[in-house]
């Protein structure tokens, strides 16, 4: 029973935490990505992964890490985003990575538009003292893309083998 709960909640809980951290601090802690990797390794056998399937997921995660490090080096994404993409890719696997990437791109575009619009309106006095709100409102501030990555992961996760192993 504990394994079933872990299959249902580990990935979503960590993705929600990553998105919230990025929103409030513009940082995704390394421990989140490490916990996602550890969760994948520990739970894959219980989800019915063969060694071959496990290897495909690991190869995909490594490939996504290489791509996302390149994106980080070009200053397109943050370092936490790069690690989160790779860790989430482990869980998505080859069967769901395109869907994950597509939804992350759409979510990220929408998030960027919302933040750009938000930056063009004056802040109400009640929230103008919040550090995280000021950071988001600042024109030179970045976009907490971890929110889009988390949203995509949460949207795709129900279709992955992880939850099918529980049903």
Q: Which two tokens stand for residue 25?
A: 């601090």
pTM listed for this prediction: 0.93
Contact 83, 62 (CB under 8 A): no
Percent of the chain exceeding pLDDT 90 equals 85
Quick: pLDDT tens for 74-92.
999 999 999 999 999 999 9
Quick: pLDDT tens for 108-137.
999 999 999 999 999 988 888 899 999 999
Contact 160, 97 (CB under 8 A): no
């Amino acid at each position: 029973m504990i394994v079933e709960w872990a299959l249902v909640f580990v990935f979503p809980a960590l993705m929600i935490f990553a998105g919230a951290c990025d929103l409030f601090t513009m940082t995704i802690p390394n421990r989140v990505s490490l916990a996602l990797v550890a969760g994948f390794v520990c739970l894959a056998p219980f989800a019915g992964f063969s060694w071959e399937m496990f290897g495909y997921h690991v190869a995909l995660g490594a490939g996504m890490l290489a791509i996302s490090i390149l994106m980080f080096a070009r200053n397109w994404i943050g370092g936490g985003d790069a690690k989160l993409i790779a860790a989430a890719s482990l869980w998505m696997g080859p069967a769901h990575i395109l869907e994950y990437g597509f939804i992350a791109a759409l979510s990220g575009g929408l998030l960027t538009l919302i933040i750009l619009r938000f930056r063009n309106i004056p802040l109400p006095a009640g929230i103008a003292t919040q550090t995280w709100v000021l950071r988001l409102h600042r024109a030179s501030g970045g976009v907490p893309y971890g929110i889009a990555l988390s949203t995509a992961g949460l949207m795709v996760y129900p279709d992955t083998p992880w939850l099918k192993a529980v049903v």
